[in-house]
Every structure is written in C-alpha cells, then in structure tokens.
Structure 1
Amino acid sequence: MNEIRISDFDYELPSEYIAQTPLEPRDSSRLLVTHRSTGQMEHRHFRDIGSYLRPGDLLIANQSRVIPARLLGQKAETGGAVEVLLLAERPDLGQDRWETLVRPGRRLRDGARIVFGEDPEQPRLLAEVGERTEAGGRIVHFTVPEGLNEDDPYSVMAVRHRIDEIGNMPLPPYIHERLADPERYQTVYARIRGSAAAPTAGLHFTPQLLDQLRQQGVRTGFVTLHVGLDTFRPVEVDNVSEHKMHSEEIELDAQTAELINETKRAGGRVIAVGTTSVRVLESVASLHEGEIQPYKGSTSLFITPGYTFKAVDVMITNFHLPRSTLLLLVSAFMSKGLMEEAYQTAIKEHYRFFSFGDAMLIL
C-alpha cells in the first residue's frame, strides 16, 4: 500500500476566509454541491439542499451537545492562571474524572490543585491534576467544596452543575470574535451533552428546514459521538499510518439502526451530516460486515484515502483545516483530486471556512 503523507493534504488559506461569526439565519450559508460521478460543482445556499434530496433518503445527524468545556482557574499554591479544556468524562477511572488539556500543562506536577471561581478563597469548584494520557492530556479529578451543595457535595450532578455555571463555550482557537449567543455553537437538535466541540456541519439546519425536508419525504435519524481530542490536534507525523487516532464514545440505537436498514432495503440513500456521523456509521458498519446493528461503545476508526465506505452514500460537511484527519476523511469519500479542486474553487469563490463557515454537499 502506498504511504499517505500529511504534507500532501496542506493548503494555503488567507486568514480573512476563516469565518469568525455564524450567519443569520443558519441556512443562509453557501453550499458547494459537488457531484462525485462527474466532478461537476454548483454554487447554492444551504436552504436549497432539498433540491438534491429525494423521498426515501435518510439524514443521519449527530445529536451531541457541546458542554461549556473551557474552565479558567488558578493554581491553589501560587495563584498562577490555568486553563483546563474538558475532552471526555472518564468514569472508568473513577467518579468526576475527566480527560483534559491543561495549560500550562508541563508546569503542573501530579497532585497539583486548581481552584475555580471569582474568589480563590471561596472557590466554586476544585480540581486535582493527575496522570498524563497517551495523547498528551491530563486526567483531572473535580470536586465541589463542602457546604456549597445541600445534597451530596461529591455527586456527579454537583460537579456538572458547577461546570455549567463557570465554564465557557470552547470555541476553536482560530475564532477570535466573542460569540453573542452560545446556542449558535449548538445544532438545533443537540440534546445529549458531552462534546468539547460542535459537530459543525449540522449548524446550518433550522427547525423549518428540517420540517420542509420531512414533508418532502426525507427521514431523519440521530447518532451520538462526543467530539474529543482529535478536533484540537493536527496530524503531527508525515506518514499518516503512524498517527494514533484518539478514541471517542459513540452510540447508534435500535430505532436508528432500523431506519438505516429500511432505507437501504428500499433503495434510499443514507446522508451523513458531518464527519462525526460518518465515523459513527462506518464504525458500526465495520463491526458486522456492512450490516447496521445497535451499538454503544468507543471507536478509533481512522478513515483515510483508500477506505471503502460501507454505509454512507452522501455527505454534508464544512470546509476543514489543512493537515487534519477530517480532510483525510473527506478525501477518502470524494477522492483527493476532487477534494483539492473543490477547495480551490471554494477559495476562488470566497467561501467561508471552518466551524462557522459554509458547507459542501458531496453527492
């Protein structure tokens, strides 16, 4: 097999192309429609997506909800500023333990304590920094100071309430504008909390557009993937086969499995909303030789060019960062050559890129 080099998945993007704020309404963003069979491209708006969907098609979207995962605190011993980014809850390691990215991570020894809240003398939340993870993060154990909660101060809900109270929305580092409404970094169907970043392809849907598609005969099913570390981590090795994909928790329930199987049997298309939905569908399909069955567990599936898709027929996706696992996945779906042509077309036509940017429909 030919080696895949991440340096071949780089591109130049002027900074003014990086969308800093979301458009209103959500479905007014642009849509680059790309036909894989012919290479033809069309410039539309997201609200026009129904023109390309047929009765009997099935949209599969990720219903994960972003948590206010960016916590700003101080070292208990010195008062130095600390930032903790929550990536995934780790109940396998004990209650209220989270995998995190900590800044400045190198200067925090195991056992270091962090206090959160406006008054360090009366903190709202406490944390103890634990062991390093394979991916370069830290395991952090959170507790609520005694006396702050009438119920058990060390209950899971107490810690979650404090995180919701003091945490900030974890916008990507390339977004420098303040987000006026934090709900704009959530999809309209987000309901299961746990992500450190939004599944951004879904940000373009409005309730009205989803209703319009249902009336058109397009059905909708939901999966869950809590977006974790790989969103924040570029591929740092040139030989892609050496990149270690971080594990993420996924769920596909019995109702959605049945919807997918019914759609396939009837000759409809499964349309994945975003790369996270693609990873759930392909992870589950790979367990049972292409058959979709209910599944709850983890996946570290790494989709690169040469991968054979077993479940996804059509993809809706945003424009992704250079040298990212997401760009590799899109290239696997539409071919590297067509991906490069589409991205150069989007740059030439002044599309908006990344989380709050425009979308592409790959048919």
Structure 2
Amino acid sequence: MRTSDFDFNFSSNILAKYPSSERDESKLMIINRNNKKIEHKLFKDLHQYFEEGDTIILNNTKVFPARLFGNKEKTEAKIEVFLLRELDKKDRTWDVLVDPARKVRVGNKLNFGYGLTGEVIDNTTSRGRILQLHFNGTHEEFIKKIKEIGKTPLPKYINRPTEKNDELRYQTIYAKKEGSVAAPTAGLHFSKHLLKKLEIKGINIVEITLHLGLGSFLPVEVEDISKHKMDSEKCLIDEKTCSIVNNTIQKKKRICAVGTSSMRAIESSVSSNKNLNPFIGWTNKFIFPPYNFSIANSMITNFHMPKSTLLMMTAAFAGFDLLMEAYKIAIQEKYRFYSYGDAMLIL
C-alpha cells in the first residue's frame, strides 16, 4: 500500500482543541470486524463489551513538560524547543525539535531564563537538533527546573496556549512512569469509575510502558510505506503482565490493547508460540497492512491524522476498507478527531 491511500478530506472543525467535559463522556464508535457492523456509543459503555477473564492492556507512561520557550542570544528571537529525549545525563545533551527551525544553527545559544541556557551543538540528525543545556546545579535540580518552567507538550494543531487544565487532562489517570512527550491518547478516556466497573466485572487490567517520542508522530514522507523508518521508543513489559496476558490467550478470552502504543509494545515482544515475552529496551516496530497480529484481538484507539503511522496500524488491525468506511461515517456524525477527540473500539 502507498501513503496516499491513507489520505482523506476533513474540515478543521472536527479537530478537538479541548477534551470532553468528563473523560468517559466522549463518543465511542464500535467496529465489529466479523459482521462489518458499526455502532455508536459513549466511552462509559465500554464495560458492556467485556466479560470476566478478559484482559485490557494500558500504557502507563507519563507525559513530562517537554516544551520550553527561550530567546536566541543577541537577536532575542523567540524559539520554542521541544525536548524529545535525553542523550547524555553528564553532558546534558538532548535530542530536540526547534521552531522556527530555520533560525537556529550550530553554535547558537538560547536563554530560557531561571538560570537555564542551551547551545546547539549538532544539526545532523534526521529528527532535528542536538541541544546541550546548561544549568548550575545537580542533574536532579536540572530536571526539577525543566519541570518548573516547561509546558505541557500539546500537539501543534491544537494551536492555543497551554491551560492549567491541560496538565491534568493531557495525562491518563493511571500515568506512572515519566518519559513521554505525547500522551497515549486512547487512555485519556478512562475514568476511575469506569476502571472500577471493569475490575468489579472480573476483567484483568494490566500495564505496559512505552514512552512516546518522535516515533509516534513523525510524518511519513515516502510514498512506499515499507520504506518509512520508525524512530525508536523505550518500552518495558514485565513478567506479571505477560503471565496474565498469556493465561488469557490460553483461555481464548478477549485481549484489548488500549492505543497504538500498547499494541506496538506487545507486538514488539512475541515468542515463537505467539505468547507475550517480558521486554526492556527500544522498539522501532512499524505496523502497516497487511499484518498478522499475535496478542490482542481487540483494540481501542482515537481517530488519527491522514497518512500517519497510527492510521496505518489501525487499518492493519481493522481492515483497510472497513476503517476507511468508519472514518467516513465518523466525519458525517461529527466525531471529534485526534488527541482530545473521541475513540473507537475495534472487535
């Protein structure tokens, strides 16, 4: 398949710039792959589709305030820096994106205030820049300072200033392990009340960790999608999660991956007998049609950008034609798209 196959037209008014008033009050589209039936529910109805012994896999990564605003030395030009990942603790070097990129060159110095400065020391990566940050203090104090002055890294399309509520809502209620620069958005719909309902019903709730970085939102710039290279993201799957998931597989019950990040994580560590293995490391797994999934037989995900790797993975799971029909209906029915938008459950 080609990248252009995953394009579609839409009006900008379907882009959700704010979350729903309550997490589980967002719309939920139900897509049944067997009978091709599409239903319309609310996310709080999710428990109706699971029964005792089923397993739901959540990504417990936590978003950190990765967006910094500074000024270029001498010109005082405003520069936005998006921290992607720390490369060296000792040297305090980070892989970053900068905006506007054309104004920043190797050797340029940036001032973020509060005793934090930076210097661009490399401009050769495919992702963006290598920035060395300077701060008079320990590494722990340095990280604390970043959290104090950094802003919630809302996606660019939201195109509004970060608000206080974003610190809470651009984070799942079960976020534990800090390291993401983007939220695992399918999980944003879960409320404490809904999770409790699922647990009372006897449904297993397990967690993996995949820290979302540039790999999750880097655009596909080649027409032949098999030539696209995913950026690596850090992943952790523990033995407890594997034991519960593999027991669910053995009993032929429902296993649901919440979000493309959870799906990518579990598909990155599959044994030869189609079980889930413990894993600590990095994954650059890129899933696109056709693909045979080994672990999950259902999936929760949001509505994604045209031509994105997230849309390609969802099409591989749902089936290309059925998913494109679902997106057409979603646009007609005024579903809200992207990070703060509505969700779908693919069965």
Pair in the same fold by TM > 0.5: yes
Q: How much has 1:133 moved relative to structure 2? A: 4.9
Matches within 5 A, 1:47-66: 47-66=44-63
Matches within 5 A, 1:242-257: 242-257=227-242
Q: How much has 1:232 moved relative to structure 2? A: 3.5
Match of 1:98 among 73, 90, 94: 94
Could you say which residue in structure 1 is the equivalent of 2:178?
193
1:336 aligns with 2:320: yes
Q: 1:200 to 1:227 in 2, by over 3 A?
A: same
Contact 1:235-1:324 at 8 Å conserved across structures: yes
1:176 aligns with 2:159: yes
Could you say which residue in structure 1 is the equivalent of 2:247?
262
In 2: Cα distance, 1:311 partner to 1:48 partner:
24
Contact 1:317-1:361 at 8 Å conserved across structures: yes
**Other structure's SS at 2:158 match:** coil
Unaligned runs of 5+ residues in structure 1 are 118-122, 147-152
Q: 1:180 to 1:165 in 2, by over 3 A?
A: closer
Contact 2:121-2:130 at 8 Å conserved across structures: yes
Per-residue Cα deviation, 1:41-87 (whole angstroms, up to 9, x for no partner) = 11100000011011111111111111111100012343221111011
Could you say which residue in structure 1 is the equivalent of 2:103?
107
Q: How much has 1:289 moved relative to structure 2? A: 5.3
Q: How much has 1:259 moved relative to structure 2? A: 1.5
- 1:6 maps to a residue whose letter is T
- 1:32 maps to a residue whose letter is M
1:219 aligns with 2:207: no
Could you say which residue in structure 2 is the equivalent of 1:361?
345
Contact 2:215-2:284 at 8 Å conserved across structures: no
Of 20-29 and 82-91, more deviation after overlay is shown by: 82-91
Of 24-33 and 175-184, more deviation after overlay is shown by: 175-184
- 2:126 maps to a residue whose letter is A
Contact 2:105-2:123 at 8 Å conserved across structures: no
Contact 1:64-1:192 at 8 Å conserved across structures: yes
- 1:263 maps to a residue whose letter is T
Q: How much has 1:94 moved relative to structure 2? A: 4.9
1:125 aligns with 2:109: no
Q: How much has 1:180 moved relative to structure 2? A: 4.0
In 1: Cα distance, 2:279 partner to 2:171 partner:
24
In 2: Cα distance, 1:100 partner to 1:66 partner:
16
Could you say which residue in structure 2 is the equivalent of 1:150?
none
- 1:138 maps to a residue whose letter is R
Q: What percent of counterpart residues are identical?
A: 43
**Other structure's SS at 1:54 match:** coil
In 1: Cα distance, 2:216 partner to 2:82 partner:
12
- 1:167 maps to a residue whose letter is G
Runs of 4+ in 1 over 3 A off after TM superposition: 177-180
**Other structure's SS at 2:295 match:** coil
Match of 2:260 among 272, 275, 279: 275
Contact 1:65-1:192 at 8 Å conserved across structures: yes
In 2: Cα distance, 1:347 partner to 1:103 partner:
31
In 1: Cα distance, 2:272 partner to 2:76 partner:
53
Contact 2:215-2:233 at 8 Å conserved across structures: no
Q: With structure 2 as the length reference, what TM-score do the two structures score?
A: 0.95
Q: How much has 1:136 moved relative to structure 2? A: 3.0
Of 103-112 and 57-66, more deviation after overlay is shown by: 103-112
**Other structure's SS at 2:20 match:** coil
In 2: Cα distance, 1:106 partner to 1:264 partner:
51
Q: How much has 1:95 moved relative to structure 2? A: 4.5
Contact 2:173-2:192 at 8 Å conserved across structures: yes
Contact 1:126-1:143 at 8 Å conserved across structures: yes
In 2: Cα distance, 1:211 partner to 1:25 partner:
16
Contact 2:210-2:262 at 8 Å conserved across structures: yes
Q: 1:233 to 1:269 in 2, by over 3 A?
A: same
In 2: Cα distance, 1:304 partner to 1:51 partner:
29
1:30 aligns with 2:27: yes
1:351 aligns with 2:335: yes
Q: How much has 1:143 moved relative to structure 2? A: 2.3
**Other structure's SS at 2:206 match:** strand
- 1:5 maps to a residue whose letter is R
Matches within 5 A, 1:147-162: 153=137, 155-162=138-145
